[in-house]
Structures are given as C-alpha cells and as structure tokens.
Amino acid sequence: MADAKSGELMEKIVSLCKRKGFIFQSSEIYGGLNGFWDYGPLGADLKRNVKEAWWNRMTRMRDDIAGLDATIIMHPRIWKASGHVDTFTDPMVDCKTCKGRFRADQVHEIPCPQKPSKMVCECHGEKTEARPFNLMFETTVGPIRSDDNIAYLRPETAQAIFVQFKNVLETARQKVPFGIAQVGKAFRNEVTPRNFTFRSREFEQMELEFFIKPDEAVEAICGSVAVPSAPGHPGEPRPDWGWKMWHQYWVEERIRFYEEIGLPRTTLEEYWQKPAELAHYARATVDLLFKFPFGTQELEGIAARSDFDLSQHQRFCGKPMTVFDEELKAAWPRLDAPKQESLKQQYLQSRLNYLVRAGEEKEKAEAQAKADAEALGKGYYVPHVIEPSAGVDRLTLALLCNAYSEDQAPDEKGKMETRIVMRLHPRIAPVKVAVFPLLKNKPELVRKALEVRDLLRPHMPVFYDEAGAIGRRYRRQDEGGTPFGITVDFDTLGEKGPDLKDTVTLRERDSMRQERVRIADLPSILMDKIR
C-alpha cells in the first residue's frame, strides 16, 4: 500500500517528467484526456531505447526468434476466437450519487452511512450492481457504420502473432521450438486508468510467443522430458526440455533483461499465480512485479498457455495450425507399442480437455481428439506456447521511478545543495553525453566543443549546451539522466602547455568524478560505457 511519502515521491517523478520533457498529458491544452499520455523529447528516446533493447535481445541476438509488425485493426473474428469479445471484461459499478464509474474490485470499501452492508466509493454514494464492461475499443471499417462493419483496436499484440504463425514459420524457415516477437500499440478502454502511465488506455506492448513441442512429442523424441530441478536459470536450451523448463527459462531470461537495462533483481518480485487465479488454458503464469512508489505491481506476465491459442484459431478459421515434425515422425516407429499407446492416450486426453472446454459437443470432441492423437504418431501437433508479455510504458515508468534520486552536491560557490539525478542506465539513457564549452563567449572554446560534438554524433545521441554556468549545465543533464558530460576548457586549447592540448574533462553523472581524457579517445571510451 502506498503511503504519504511514496505519494510525494510519485508527485516529484510526475513533475520531473513534465519539466524535463519525458511525459506530458495527452491533449493537455484542451484539458487532457484521461488515460492517454504523450512522450516528450527525452521520453520518446527513452522509450525507443527500451523497445530497441528488447528487440535486439529477442531477435538480433538469437537465431530462434523472428520479428513481426502487424496491423492494429484485424479481422473481428480473431477477437471472437481469442475470447476477447466474450470475456475481456472488467466488473463495473456506477455510483448513484456522484455518477462516477469504477472497477468493482478497485472501489474503496468504505461502509455506506445509510446501509452499512453496501459498497460505496470515496463520495460515500451507493453503488449499482457490478456488470461486465468490455475493454475493447470499437470502430467501424469502411464508409458505412453498421454492426457488420464493427472492428476493434487490438487489446494486445499477441493475437497477430498467432494468426501469422504459419506465414512466419515458413518464411523464416524456423522449426519448433522457435518464437515470434512483436512490439506495438495496444488499446484498452480501462474503466479507471490510474497511477500515471501505469494503467493507460493506449499503450505499447512487447510480446513474445515462443512455440514449443508438446511434452508427448518431446518424450517420443528424447525418451524423457526434463523438468526443473533447481531454481534459477536452467542454461542453454536442450531438446529434452518440456514446457516447465521453457517456462522457467523465459522467467529467468526476462529477469536478466531487466538487470541489463538497470532494474536490479532486488527491485523485482516474482508472483506465481495460484491455480484458482490462472486462466483456464494456462498451465502456469508468473507475474514479474516492480516496486513502484504506489505499490508493488505487475510489469510483465510470463504465461505457459498450452496449445490453446493456435487451437482456437484452427477451430475458428478452419485451417490447420499443426506443424509437421520430422524428428517426431522418425522417432515414433522406434518406440515400443505400450509407449506409443501411453503417449497417444496422454495427448488424446489433453486435446479432449481443450476441445470440451472450448465448447465442442462431446462426440465431436472425442472424434477430433482421437484424430489428433493419431496425427501425433505421424509427426503432427499443434505447438504449445510460452508467452512473456511486457508493457513498454510500464517498463519506462519503472525505469524512471528506479532512476529518480536526490543527493547533495556543491553549487557554484561550494555550498551543498540538493541535486536531482535520474540514474538511468547508460544503455537506455536518452542522451548519452553532453558537451559544454567552459565559456560561450570564447569562440575558440565553442569551436572546439562543436568539433567534439560532431566527432561523437555519428556514434551516439549528444547534447550541446553553452548556456549558463557550467554547474547549472551539469544539473540540467543530471535531471535528464545523461550519464556523461564533457567540458572543453582552456587546457583543451593548450594554454597550460602541450601535454593537455586536445584533452577534455569527462564527468560521470552518478559519482560526479571527472577525468582528463584525449579527445581522440572519446568515441571508444564512451562506446564501451554505453554498450
């Protein structure tokens, strides 16, 4: 629960975000629009760096993940198949007094003065019964507004990955296990957007769908299925991994990613959803939580979603989502008959469970599950999936909250003052280095400083600043999270002798330590620090 001090901290962060150009209220000059936020000059670069770090780690640094960039509006049947049309709802209540609308599970439970058994909101008004409210934004496609043309702004990026699964599999020449990654906008008409950008109505997601073999196929190929034997990262993937190993692997991979961009493990918590909390198709879900000033809340969910998603699209579009697995086909005849039978039975049961839950008639479901089990012996199955799903805006907010700090530093006259520093990791900081001529009215200093700026520009984002006292310029960069500052002074010009000519001071934001380095060495020194 957030206390007054955390509330104060959050206010400071929100105010810094506006003052420094990280985040603005959307449509501010018209009074704003609840649940929508714009990223200013620093925020846009910070967010871009977050997405790039994720994309690089997921796609560029691995052979087994391919990328996708799909449309926001897709065929409306997709959302029927995924369950969003029927079940993507929040329970909503209206306050009979203030006419406010609230998520039933978020209304403050203050006893109503008139009827103490009733639930009321902060205005103490009586509430209506809770009713489901679908979170998808609706629109119509084409010039005629009718029910036949209704489409939705996607509430998650994941479904596009499932519906393009076959195209990506074939064009990227991948084999299961492999993944498809996507970064993009998602929209949810949240009943109560809140906590700054944490719960917005328009946001971005970074989602990976990592497709794996069903455990029955792994067992047929490898003879057994490896399951986790210890906590922590299980190491390089192996062919005998079942879904539990893959799930643990992705939880640990995601934590490593957060560590790499400056969120230490100690700022995160793992929450393993209890069986009663799991979606009906999910086998396990871990929420990675971050300690925000307003409470410890979800940053990312990593779900083992079985073969539910591809199976749903297979049923709804009538096209097979199965893959053919050479290794499985080759391994199957080598199994003895009882083994074949037991694996088939296990697979049949799992397919039957899915089909019955999906609402198929018993007889049809049994016949389909039997056919699926027969197909397994011939090398065919619907892949299962592990889904690490993260929010770009939530992560950006977590990084901003984690970076905010205040310390004491001397001002121009040596008097200690409070310094606000955004300790953003150099990898994701929007500006990597600021370049300052000591004085702006000395053309030689300015010329040299501009040369330094131009030397570094091709390698990293650089900010040139000649306005005001040097201490003030440092403070401005500290507040924006710029990790390094370079000052060009009279020594740089060789006024104290040839030894210091063409050297500058390089200041490190967090420690405020300064060292003298050669201009020619700056690109390599800095590249090492920001990589």
Applying CB under 6 A, which part among 218-226, 261-269, 294-302, 451-459 lies near ligand GAP? 294-302
Q: Quote the CA–CA distance of 196 and 16 in Å, as a whole number.
A: 13
Total of chain residues touching ligand GAP, rule CB under 6 A: 18
Q: Quote the CA–CA distance of 16 and 293 in Å, as a whole number.
A: 15
Applying CB under 6 A, which part among 39-47, 54-62, 296-304, 433-441 lies near ligand GAP? 296-304
Cβ count within 10 A of residue 509: 23
393 is an interface residue for ligand GAP by CB under 6 A: yes
164 neighbors 180 (Cβ within 8 angstroms): yes
Contacts of 23 (CB under 8 A, 6+ apart): 14, 17, 37, 38, 39, 40, 43, 196, 197
Across the chain, which distance is largest between two alpha carbons, in Å?
93
Residue 320's identity, in one-letter code, is P
270 is an interface residue for ligand GAP by CB under 6 A: no
Applying CB under 6 A, which part among 331-339, 386-394, 456-464, 494-502 lies near ligand GAP? 386-394
- In whole angstroms, the minimum distance from the beta carbon of 497 to ligand GAP comes to 56
Q: Quote the CA–CA distance of 192 and 463 in Å, as a whole number.
A: 39
247 is an interface residue for ligand GAP by CB under 6 A: no
Question: For residues 205 and 322, which CB has a smaller minimum distance to ligand GAP in the complex?
Answer: 205
CA-angle at 277, arms to 193 and 300, nearest 5°: 50
- In whole angstroms, the minimum distance from the beta carbon of 203 to ligand GAP comes to 4
Figure out which of the listed residues 389, 396, 477, 492 binds ligand GAP, where binding follows CB under 6 A.
389
Applying CB under 6 A, which part among 245-253, 297-305, 423-431, 447-455 lies near ligand GAP? 297-305
Applying CB under 6 A, which part among 81-89, 195-203, 259-267, 402-410 lies near ligand GAP? 195-203
Figure out which of the listed residues 188, 313, 419, 473 binds ligand GAP, where binding follows CB under 6 A.
188
* 3-state SS, residue 336: coil
By Cβ distance, which residue is nearest to ligand GAP?
Answer: 391
Q: Quote the CA–CA distance of 215 and 350 in Å, as a whole number.
A: 11
What tokens were used for 484?
A: 């390094």
> Could you tell me which residues are beta bridge partners of residue 102?
93
195 is an interface residue for ligand GAP by CB under 6 A: no
> Could you tell me which residues are beta bridge partners of residue 401?
none
- Cis peptide upstream of residue 143 (ω within 30 degrees of 0): no
Q: Where are the extended beta strands (E) located within 28-130?
A: 37-39, 65-68, 89-94, 101-103
Q: What Cα–Cα distance (Å) separates residue 263 from each residue in 14, 259, 293, 396? A: 19, 5, 15, 11
Applying CB under 6 A, which part among 42-50, 198-206, 273-281, 308-316 lies near ligand GAP? 198-206
Question: For residues 313 and 394, which CB has a smaller minimum distance to ligand GAP in the complex?
Answer: 394
> Could you tell me which residues are beta bridge partners of residue 436?
487
Figure out which of the listed residues 45, 300, 466, 489 binds ligand GAP, where binding follows CB under 6 A.
300
Applying CB under 6 A, which part among 58-66, 264-272, 388-396, 471-479 lies near ligand GAP? 388-396
- In whole angstroms, the minimum distance from the beta carbon of 392 to ligand GAP comes to 8
Applying CB under 6 A, which part among 199-207, 251-259, 370-378, 522-530 lies near ligand GAP? 199-207
45 is an interface residue for ligand GAP by CB under 6 A: no
Location of structure tokens 């073999």 = 213
390 is an interface residue for ligand GAP by CB under 6 A: yes
Figure out which of the listed residues 57, 199, 254, 384 binds ligand GAP, where binding follows CB under 6 A.
199
Figure out which of the listed residues 205, 350, 402, 492 binds ligand GAP, where binding follows CB under 6 A.
205
Figure out which of the listed residues 154, 394, 448, 453 binds ligand GAP, where binding follows CB under 6 A.
394
200 is an interface residue for ligand GAP by CB under 6 A: yes
H helix intervals, 267-391: 308-317, 326-331, 337-357, 362-377
Residues 467-506: x/- map of binding to ligand GAP (CB under 6 A)?
----------------------------------------
Q: Quote the CA–CA distance of 389 and 287 in Å, as a whole number.
A: 10
- In whole angstroms, the minimum distance from the beta carbon of 196 to ligand GAP comes to 10
CA 353 to mean position of chain CA atoms: 31
DSSP state of 226: B
Q: Pairing between strand 295-304 and 284-292?
A: antiparallel
Question: For residues 299 and 399, which CB has a smaller minimum distance to ligand GAP in the complex?
Answer: 299
* 3-state SS, residue 44: helix
Q: Quote the CA–CA distance of 346 and 376 in Å, as a whole number.
A: 11
Residues 155-184 that bind ligand GAP (CB under 6 A): 156, 158
Residues 207-246 that bind ligand GAP (CB under 6 A): 207
301 is an interface residue for ligand GAP by CB under 6 A: yes
Contacting positions for ligand GAP (CB under 6 A): 156, 158, 188, 190, 199-200, 203, 205, 207, 298-301, 389-391, 393-394
